[in-house]
Structure 1
């Protein structure tokens, strides 16, 4: 128990540090975007604002993820993380549309940006986001790994801004700035729709993307005692905490003790091989009509 507490505390601290680093730099970025007249920096600032919200939500929900279920929320509070994803998506969507509206006129009539200022901000961006990546890579939780990959994408985005700013210092190509901002905005939109689609799937209780219900059924049917499966439901609380309920059809002669051993073995299989955290099994005799259809 002490080990788990230490691990959870470490995960929360790593995400907390990354959040404050990102939030501080986002504020600096917005100021820098105005100062250098760079739409690319402003668009990346909006991207980093979304990251700050994601990190803040990850930090908050990492804190309450082990909170016990209540009478109102009997499955606990894991699905609350979807609220963060939805809020984040709306902010990024609005910000991306703003950047696209601003960048198109600048592509037609390019405005000069402070290329040297852009270069220094890009270097600072690589350092700050790189520090956040290194901090999160020390962690072992799924939450930290996902956020770490997201921050790594930010580092690569700043590398692109750095290259563009260096090019603009030697060649008169101010159009590079709005083109880069447009590409960043389109990249953000792509991720917004991807994450939005996944969030809607979870809210509508779709099956987890990484788990095949057909494979679950096939593996459970390998048990000699299991003759068929009815009323099988598979869904996820937040994309990581997965839930399954199913009725196992068994022989009429199966004893109570053997039935308990069967359920224990099936639960172990589903937990170890399919990472199903919450499994509810019901045994039915072969001559019993439960009124449910077979698993799909």
Structure 2
């Protein structure tokens, strides 16, 4: 991976929201990672851990409270309006909910063509042919261009969302839980479509999800988030075969195994206690309140994300002992 080009570098990214007069919700609190051109970086964690906020801040949909997002050598949060438009041509997002992310008053053709019009890429017959080509690329057909979103199933709508994201030929796509609102039978189809498109178009993905088995299937490397912090980061195979952080171990133990006999033998690691509030969090490791290995050091000092083995980073004071 090292010889590959770094397309995106996220440095100490922070995104805070003001809640009431004196409270701050620290949705993303000092997250750093790199995404290489042509790879898929998976981001996992429980609901509310900050992964979607992280993705939207990387895309520039939220302004960063602190830190940097460097896309192809340029810091995106300091871009002017014209430069931002150029960035949005190179980076797109596929939203979680295909029901609410498509305008119900627009035809599918106009939804897909909107980005083409904004960036003045094609006009007239050429524009129409491009829309047909995109529909066929995502497994739909050209007749669908004249229909409205309510006439489609959830899986078909997500295909329309993917076609819209691809319309302006981006290099980088944030996939924000693109399968979580879909039936299980459709999820694999959408993930396989994303993999196929990546190969055809040399795309780079930030794939955000909480379905761990699907993340393993699509990702080259995976970051695990907990309450706004990155707690573990490694290649996909390394993370799934050798999880080191207590939180990651518990997550991995919850992945179901298709064989019922093997599933019975498996030892699940329960996580006890409630998820602490991300509003004005206490000092120390965010996972300490729910961790069976936590010590006074864990409760008082925030662990740094350190390389424990080559390419395998963990933020845990006790990682070498457990």
| TM-score normalised over the length of structure 2 | 0.19
Higher helix proportion (structure 1 or 2): 1
Larger radius of gyration: 1
Give the structure with the larger strand fraction: 2
Q: Relative contact order, CA 8 A, sep 6+: which one is greater?
A: 2
